[in-house]
Amino acid sequence: MDWLKEIYIDHGAVEGINGLLMACSKDLAKGEESARLDDVLELAHAFTELCHHAKEEKVLFPVLRSQSDIQVCRLLNEHDLGKKLIRKIKEGEKDEKIRNIVTYDALLKAHIGKENRFFKECGQKLASAEQRALSEGFARIDADTLGPGGMDSILGRITGLKAGMGR
């Protein structure tokens, strides 16, 4: 698959997971236990961090550094910030969980918008051999991190969790 198309699909899944986190934060704000929060956090770790961010950090960013090192550094810092927020969501008390979910959602929305523009602009300058190498690198990370169900299993889990929340 075209590497940029794959990034767009990944970003859609990340936004789906963040939508689930926001739904959990609303349950918490209403004083309801959010039984699904642990499952959603596990999915955010398994997909957003281990799969999607690995594609960017190990395969894509090293290639894009020659086009804008400073932009790659900014994006990496945002990945780190996201990881710290996820830890705070896991470990924090209720109000802290709610606040950090909202911050995490806003951070990743802005991050994804920035990346979509940056990657599209950079992609136009890459040779076709480099583009092919990106697709191959992404496929390797999918195989290593997602298991036999691949992306379909991630999308299925998002849909299942959404249905389980009644939203």
Q: Which residues bind Fe ion (CB under 5 A)?
A: 56, 115
Site of tokens 């955010």? 44
Residue 76 or 133: which CB sits closer to Fe ion? 76
Q: How far apart are CA 151 and CA 160, in angstroms?
A: 14
Nearest distance from C-beta of residue 52 to Fe ion, angstroms: 6
Nearest distance from C-beta of residue 115 to Fe ion, angstroms: 5
Residue 113 or 164: which CB sits closer to Fe ion? 113
Nearest distance from C-beta of residue 35 to Fe ion, angstroms: 29
Let me know how long the chain is: 167
Helix axes 94-123, 3-29, angle to 10 degrees: 160
Site of tokens 């190990």? 58
Nearest distance from C-beta of residue 57 to Fe ion, angstroms: 8
Residue 24 or 112: which CB sits closer to Fe ion? 112
Residue 115 or 142: which CB sits closer to Fe ion? 115
Contact between residue 49 and residue 83 where contact means Cβ atoms under 8 Å apart? yes
Contact between residue 134 and residue 60 where contact means Cβ atoms under 8 Å apart? yes
